[in-house]
Structure 1
Amino acid sequence: MPTADRTRFGVTPDGEVVERVTLRNAGGMQVDVITLGASLQGVQVPDREGRLGHVLLGHDTLEPYLRQPHFMGACVGRYANRIGGAAFTLDGRRFRITANEGSNALHGGVRGLDKVVWRIESADPHQVVLRHVSPDGDQGFPGELTITATYRLAPEADQLDLILEAVTDAPTVVSLAPHGYFNLAGADGGRDVMDHHLTLAASAYTPVDEGLIPTGEIRPVDDTPFDFRTARRIGDRVRDAHDAQIRIGRGYDHNFVRDEGRTDTPTFAARVTDPASGRAMELLTTEPGLQFYSGNFLTGELIGRNGVAYGQGQGLCLEPQNFPDAPNQPGFPSARLDPGQRYRHHTIWRFSVIP
C-alpha cells in the first residue's frame, strides 16, 4: 500500500528543524523530500532486473546540504538560473539582486529558496505540499511572493509530479525550477553519466558569454554538439573543444529552447536512458526552457551516499525553467508576474525500463 512517513532530518545552525517526508507507492518506488529548499533528497526506482536503487545524487544527513554550493535536489529561485549583472529593470525601476556568481545572480542570489526551510502544509500517502513566503525585497526581488511546492507520487505508476505555484502582491519576476542531479546507473555506484543516452525536444538553444549569461541569440542546434533531437550518448561530444560553447561551459550548461514553448499542461521535453541498468526517465513540463547541465563543476570534494565522491559528470541536471536572464532579454519569454496572476510550473518525471 502507498505510504508517507514524516521524520526529523536535522537542525540548522539557527535552530530550525528540517523534516523529511518519504513517499512510497505500490510498485516500490520511493521518494524523499526535505523541507530545506523543498528539496528532493532521494528517488529510488527499479532497474531491468527489478532491483531498487537510488537514481538521484544526495546525502544521508543534513550537514552536507547546508555547506555545499551545488543546489542538490533543491527547488531554486526566486529566479532559476542566471541574471546578468545581478540586476534588472521593471516598470522603469532598477532592482539589484544579491550577486553570488561573480557579478551575476545564480538561482536567486546569496540566500535563494534552496537555503530556506519551507513549511509542510500537508502530507499524505500520495503527496506532500510545502509552502514558503519570500518577503518583499528578499535578495532584492520586489513583492512578497507566496510559493507552494507539491510533490505527488502516482499510487501505481513510477511517476513523480512537481507543481510549483506562486502569487505576488506587487509586480515581480519569477522562474522556479527543480535542480536534481540524476544518474540512472545508480547514484551510489561510482559510475558517471557519460554512457547515458539523451533526447531533447529542442531545435535551438541559447548561447552564452564567458560568464554563462545568454547573449540573446536563439541558435539552431543543427550540426552542433547540442543536437539531441535523436538519442545521443552524452559523452560523445561533451569535451568537443572545437565548439566555443562547449569550451565556455566546460561541457553542457545551456538552456535549450523547447519546440513547443510554454504549455498549459506538461508535454515531452527529454528522455534519458542508461543501457547498463535498463533504467529510463522521461521528463515532461510546462516550461519553455530546459537547462541541460552535465555536472561540469562537480570536483570530487563532495561525498554522497555510500561514500561516493561526486566528481565531474557524476550526475546530470535537466532543469525546466523560463530562459535565463529573461528579465534583461526582450526577445525571451516574459518572466513577469503581477498581483492577481498565478505562476504555475508543472513537471513530471516518468521512470521505466528498457530491454
Structure 2
Amino acid sequence: MREPSGHTLLLRHGPWAAEVVGVGAALRSLSHDGQELLSGWPAGEICPDYRGWVLQPWPNRVGDGRYDFAGATHQLALTEPERGNALHGLAGWTHWEVHHPDASRAVLRHELVPRTGYPFALDLGVDYHLRDDGVHVTITGTNVGATPAPYGSGHHPYFTLGRPVDGLELTLPASTWCPMDDRQLPGEARPVEGTPYDFRQPRVIGDLVLDHPFGGLTGDTASVRDPGTGREVTLRLGEGCQWLHVYTSDTVEPHRGAVAIEPTSCPPDAFRNGTDLVVLQPGESHRLAFVIAG
C-alpha cells in the first residue's frame, strides 16, 4: 500500500531525531532527547493543516487567487474555496525527489512546471540537516524559465510543548503586526507598541487568538516556552526571513494545542499587495534559512 506522505526519511544526530517525508518535502516530526517539539501527524495518514509544509512559490494566501504581474492577469485555483483564496503555494501535494547523503541530512528537489495561474518554471529545493544545535533548514527557489517570476517562500512548523498554548510564553522579535479581515487577508502593518500583539518581551499568550503576520523584525530568534517546566522551542532566523506568521491552532485539532510560527519571506497576499514580493530574474535564486532548536 502506498504511504500517503510518500517515502519517509529518518534523520538522527546525537539526541536529535526527525522525520522528513517525500510528499511536499514536509518535516513531520522533530524530537530532542525523546521529547517531541513539533505537532505532526501519524504515518499512514494525509498531512493535515499544512503541518511541516514547505510554502512555495508563495506562503499563506492570494486573495481571489487573482493577481497581476508584468502586464498580465493570472488566475490561480482556489484551494481555500470557503474564503475565496489560493493557499500556501503549489509544492505541498507533490512528490519531491529525495536524497539522503548521510544519517543526519535529507535533501529534496522538485521541478515546478509552468501551469495556468503560475506560468513560470522553478527548481525548488529543501535541505534538512540535523546538527548539534537542532535542525538547519534551507529552502531555495531558482527561476529556470525565460521570464521574471513572482516568488515567495516559507515553512509551516507547529511547535508543541505538550500543553495548551494559553499557558505558554511567546517571544517574537517583531515591531509590527497586520490586522486580518474575515478572509484572513492582511491590512496595513501597524506598530505592536501598546497592543496585545507586542511579544518583543516574553509574554503568556493567554486567550489571545493569533493568525497574523508579524514584520519589522528587530532580532533573529522567536520562541515558545513553558514557564512551568522551563522547556522551550526556538526558531532562529537566517537569510531571507522577513516575516513571521503566528497561528494558535484555533480551527484545528487539538484545539489550541500547538503554536505555528511560520518563517516567511513575505506576508499573506504579497502577489497582490507587493509587500516584500521577490521577483526572480531568469537564472536567479532565493534562499530562506532558519534553525529549529529545543
Alignment TM-score, normalising by the size of structure 1: 0.77
How many Å apart are 1:30 and its aligned residue?
Answer: 0.6
Structure 2 equivalent of residue 275 of structure 1 = 227
Partner of 1:24: 12
The CA deviation at 1:125 is 2.2
Aligned to 2:196: 225
For residues 82 and 208 of structure 1, the distance between their equivalents in structure 2, rounded to whole angstroms, comes to 12
Distance 2:214 2:186 in 1: 11
Which structure has more helix as a fraction of its residues? 1
Deviations 1:276-297 (A, max 9, x none): 3432122122311100111111
In structure 1, C-alpha distance between the alignment counterparts of 2:134 and 2:142, rounded to whole Å: 27
Would you say 1:57 and 2:45 are equivalent positions?
Answer: no
1:327 to 266, 271, 274: 271
Partner of 1:347: 290
Q: CA deviation at 1:334?
A: 2.4
Go from structure 1 to structure 2 and tell me whether the alpha carbon gap of 1:277 and 1:10 turns closer, same or farther (over 3 Å shift): farther
Please identify which structure carries the higher strand content: 2
Matching residue within 149, 161, 172 for 1:200 = 172
Deviating runs (4+, > 4 A) in structure 1?
Answer: none
CA RMSD of aligned residues (A): 1.8
Q: Does residue 147 of the first structure (1) align with residue 128 of the second (2)?
A: no
On the 8 A contact 1:149/1:162 being kept in 2, the answer is yes
Whether contact under 8 Å (1:24, 1:125) holds in the other structure is: yes
Unpaired stretches in structure 1, ≥5 consecutive residues: 1-8, 47-51, 186-190, 239-250, 261-266, 299-309
SS at match of 1:33: strand
Structure with higher Rg: it is 1
Cα deviation, residue 347, structure 1: 1.2
One-letter amino acid matched to 2:213: N
1:71 aligned to 22, 46, 50, which one? 50
2:67 maps to: 88
Quote the sequence identity (%).
28
1:85 Cα deviation after fit: 1.7
**How many Å separate the matches in 2 of 1:259 and 1:53?**
29
Q: CA contact under 8 A between 1:203 and 1:258: conserved in structure 2? A: yes
**Ranges in structure 2 where 5+ consecutive residues have no aligned partner:** none
How many residue pairs end up in the alignment? 287
Matches within 5 A, 1:79-228: 79-101=58-80, 102-108=83-89, 112-137=90-115, 140-154=117-131, 157-168=132-143, 169=145, 170-185=147-162, 191-215=163-187, 217-228=188-199
Q: TM-score, normalised by structure 2?
A: 0.92
Given residue 249 of structure 2, which amino acid in structure 1 is its aligned partner? G
Quote the residue 1:39 is aligned against.
26
- Quote how far apart the aligned CAs of 1:142 are: 2.3
Residue 319 of structure 1 and its aligned partner are, at CA, apart by 0.5
Amino acid across the alignment from 2:179: P
Asked whether the equivalents of residues 217 and 243 of structure 2 are also in contact (C-alpha less than 8 Å), the reply is no
